[in-house]
Amino acid sequence: MAKIVLFNKPFQVLCQFTDPEGRNTLAKFIRQPGLYAAGRLDYDSEGLLLLTDDGKLQQQVCDPKFKLEKTYWVQLEGAITDAAIDRLAKGVVLKDGMTRPAKCRRIEPSALWPRVPPIRQRQNDITGWIELKIREGRNRQVRRMTAAVGFPTLRLVRVAIGSWTLESLQPGQSRTEQVHLAATTDTPQKPQSRHPGSRPQNKKQRPGSRRR
Tens-of-pLDDT digits for all 212 residues of the chain? 888 999 999 999 999 999 999 999 999 999 988 999 998 899 999 999 999 999 888 888 877 677 789 999 999 999 999 999 999 999 999 999 999 999 999 999 878 999 999 988 776 789 999 999 999 888 999 999 999 999 999 999 999 999 999 999 999 999 998 887 754 344 444 434 455 654 444 444 444 444 44
Of 85, 76, 194, 60, the closest CA to residue 129 belongs to 76
In a 3-state reduction of DSSP, which class is residue 28?
Answer: helix
Report the CATH fold assignment for 70-160. Alpha-Beta Plaits (3.30.70)
**Which active-site residues does the annotation give?**
42
pTM here?
0.84
pLDDT at 179: 83
The DSSP result for 91-135, as a single string, is --EETTEEPPP-EEEEE--TTPPPPSSPPP--TT--EEEEEEEES
Give the strand pairing for 103-107 and 127-134.
antiparallel
pLDDT at 196: 65
pLDDT at 194: 53
pLDDT at 197: 53
